[in-house]
Structure 1
Amino acid sequence: MIVGMNHFTVTAEDEAKTLDFYCGLLGLHVGHRPDLGFPGAWLYGTGTQAVLHMYFGRPVPTQRTGVIDHMAFTAEGLREVKARFDQRGWKYELGQQVGSGIWQLFCHDPSGAKVELDFDAKESLAAS
Structure 2
Amino acid sequence: MTIEGMNHFTVISSDLEKSKAFYSEILGLHAGYRPPMDSTGAWLYAGDQKHSILHIMAERPMPEQAPGVIDHMAFTASNLQSAIDTLKQHNIAYKLNRMQELGVWQLFFYDPDGAKIELDFAAEEPAPVE
Fold match, TM over 0.5?
yes
Quickly name the TM-score band, shorter chain normalised.
over 0.9
Aligned-partner SS, 1:50: coil
List per-residue Cα deviations over 1:89-123 (Å, max 9, x = no partner): 10110111121111101011111111100011111
1:115 paired residue number: 117
Matched residue count:
127
- Structure-2 residue corresponding to 1:14: 15
Conserved 8 A contact 1:65-1:113 = no
Partners of 2:80 and 2:128 within 8 A in 1: no
Please name the residue that 1:5 is paired with: 6
How far the C-alpha of 1:65 sits from its partner, in A, is 6.7
Q: Hey, what does 2:76 align to over in structure 1?
A: 74
Paired residue secondary structure (2:53): strand
Deviation at residue 62 of structure 1 after TM alignment: 1.4
Q: Judge conservation of contact 1:64–1:112 (CA < 8 Å) in 2.
A: no
Write the letter of the residue equivalent to 1:31. G
- Unaligned runs of 5+ residues in structure 1 are none
Deviation at 1:21, TM superposition (A): 1.4
Give TM-score scaled by structure 1 length.
0.93
Distance 1:85 1:91 in 2: 7
| Cα distance in structure 2, aligned partners of 1:125 and 1:27 | 22
Q: State the alpha-carbon separation in 2 of the partners of residues 48 and 95 from structure 1.
A: 31
8 Å contact from structure 1 (residues 65, 114) kept in 2: no
Of 69, 89, 93 in structure 1, the residue corresponding to residue 95 of structure 2 is 93
What stretches of structure 2 of length at least 5 have no aligned partner?
none
Q: What is the percent sequence identity of the aligned residues?
A: 47
Q: Where do 1:42-57 residues align within 5 Å? A: 42-46=43-47, 47-57=49-59
Relative to the length of structure 2, the TM-score reads 0.91
Q: Which letter maps to 2:38?
A: G
Superposition RMSD on alpha carbons, in Å?
1.4
Q: Find the counterpart in structure 2 of residue 24 from structure 1.
A: 25
Q: Which position in structure 2 is the counterpart of 1:37?
A: 38
